[in-house]
Structure 1
Amino acid sequence: MPLHVPPAPAPALRSVRTALGSPTAVREARTPSLKSAQTPLSPELPLPVHVLEHVPPDGGAPRTRLTGWRFLIKAGDRAVAAGEAMLTPDGWAFSHFFEGPYLASTELALRQAESLTTPYQPRLLSVPGLYMLTLWLHGDITADAASGLLAPGDLLVPLAPAPPGIAAHRPHRVADLLPVLTLRLSPAPLLKSA
């Protein structure tokens, strides 16, 4: 079943398009593929980027917040980089272009998600405390992409490279993966010296 990709805010898309049209922004980016592209570049497949801010140890609802929109930058039919717009006090602004393993991993996870029988709204969820990025498949396809409520039945697909002990590209229900994340994000107990 196809994914229901939410539309990005027009100013976020406009900021990335403007940066793609700026020789300075492209030249200063650490993205060789953008500099060497022989075909026109276009920002496609917008994904809202949420950050996991707090996982209550008592099993309460985790808190996330929207921090940006990520676009796959395509040259022809292949993604060569990603561009991100971030939310600032003045609205949406271009943040940066990048390449790296999360680009191919995101594309793979999206292809895998397209083959699922349940419709989902794709998002990205960053877990900074674990240096982890997941494709978040939200079950409410009509939800506002800025809302950050993780539902127990939503799926999280860790992108490669994933933290040790967490399999990349394997979908996990939020209710199953959240306890693992909670345990890993909890501070280690202090040992008393004798």
Structure 2
Amino acid sequence: MPLHVPPAPAPALRTVLTALSSPTAVREARTPSLLGAPGPLTPDLPLPVHVLDRVTAEGGTATRLAGWRFLIRSAERAVAAAETMLTPDGWAFSRFFEGPYIASTERALRQAETVPQPCQPRLLSVPGLYMLTLWLHGDVTADAATGRPAATDLLVPLAPAPPGIAAHRAYRVADLLPVLTLRVTPARLLRSTA
């Protein structure tokens, strides 16, 4: 089933386009794949990046939107990514980067296209585990900038995943969240609601 990729905020996209058209921004990024990429570079597949700030003792979550990530394509393949962040003045370009999460994100998105139910792709970062997942949110009409993972949503850990958690395997939030809760330092992620 096709994914329902949410549109990125227009100002976020503009900041990426401006950075891509700036030789200084591309050169200072120290991202060799951008410097050596043939043809025009285009931002593609915008995904909101949410951060899992905490898990309550009852299993609830608190997430916040940290920015939008765009895969940067050269010809037919993604060669890097660009991130934007929300500042008090609006959306701002944050950085270009490359590494294993680029190919892993593409692979997870291809896998997600085979999921039978419609879903909205997002990224969910778990800083306490240095983990990034593709979050397949079941409500395709939801505002991509808000919300928290529902128990029936799917999380696909991107490679490299933490030891003991299989990358590119779809987990229901209800199944993976307890594992994450046990593995993250309690003071950083698990907080009592008392």
Give TM-score, length-normalised by structure 1. Answer: 0.94
Deviates more, 1:92-101 or 1:31-40: 31-40
Q: Do the aligned residues in 2 keep the contact of 1:66 with 1:148 (CA within 8 Å)? A: no
Q: Would you say 1:69 and 2:61 are equivalent positions? A: no
Which structure has the bigger radius of gyration? 1
Could you tell me how far 1:93 is from its partner in structure 2? 0.2
Q: Would you say 1:37 and 2:37 are equivalent positions? A: yes
Q: Percent identity?
A: 78
Give TM-score, length-normalised by structure 2. Answer: 0.94
Counterpart Cα distance in 1 of 2:75 and 2:38: 9
Equivalent residue number for residue 122 of structure 2: 123
Equivalent residue number for residue 48 of structure 2: 48
Deviation string, structure 1 residues 97-117 (Cα, Å, up to 9, x no partner) = 000000000000000001111
Number of residue equivalences: 187
Secondary structure of the structure 1 residue equivalent to 2:64 = strand
Counterpart Cα distance in 2 of 1:7 and 1:160: 25
Runs of 5+ unmatched residues, structure 1: 189-194
Counterpart Cα distance in 1 of 2:30 and 2:181: 34
Secondary structure of the structure 1 residue equivalent to 2:106 = helix
Deviates more, 1:133-142 or 1:144-153: 144-153
Runs of 5+ unmatched residues, structure 2: 188-194
Q: Do the aligned residues in 1 keep the contact of 2:128 with 2:185 (CA within 8 Å)? A: no
Q: Do the aligned residues in 2 keep the contact of 1:138 with 1:155 (CA within 8 Å)? A: yes
Counterpart Cα distance in 2 of 1:156 and 1:8: 21
Equivalent residue number for residue 192 of structure 1: none
Secondary structure of the structure 1 residue equivalent to 2:58 = coil
Counterpart Cα distance in 2 of 1:187 and 1:45: 34
